[in-house]
Amino acid sequence: MVHGFSIVLGMDSIQILADVHPSLVSSTPGQTKNISNVTIEGIAQTIHSLEEEKKVRLQKAQMEVDRLDTLKASRMKELVVKRRLKLEDICRCAHIEPDANTTEEKFIALVE
């Protein structure tokens, strides 16, 4: 689990395990791994903190997506208003009445 979270979060799983207990990542042949209750609890706490970090990052990502969606909608509304004004100006110069089916409000409602 630690390895999976470390990949998703862009962290070094070996360093994470070494922080729990150095014997978990030792590559010396014949050296035993410390799997005491304290080490197991440390791994469990590490997994919990990685889960929390993942949740926080996902929430931040979702907030950014929402912010960008709002910004996109705002820019699209601005574009509709500009284009509508340009169309009205062209119609006025050509002495043509703008089509009532192309009102600004209808296009903005479509954007929203």
The answer to whether residue 34 scores a pLDDT higher than 70 is no
Question: Would the pLDDT of 19 be above 80?
Answer: yes
Structure tokens at 104: 């600004």
> How many domains does the chain fold into?
1
The residue behind tokens 């207990």 is: 21
* CA distance readout (Å), 64 to 7, 54, 71: 22, 15, 10
- What is the arithmetic mean of pLDDT over 81-101? 85
pLDDT above 80 for 102? no
pLDDT at residue 97 in the model? 84
CA pair distance 102, 65, nearest whole angstrom: 30
What rounded mean pLDDT belongs to the chain? 87
Host domain of residue 94: 2-111
Taking the complete model, does pTM exceed 0.95, yes or no? no
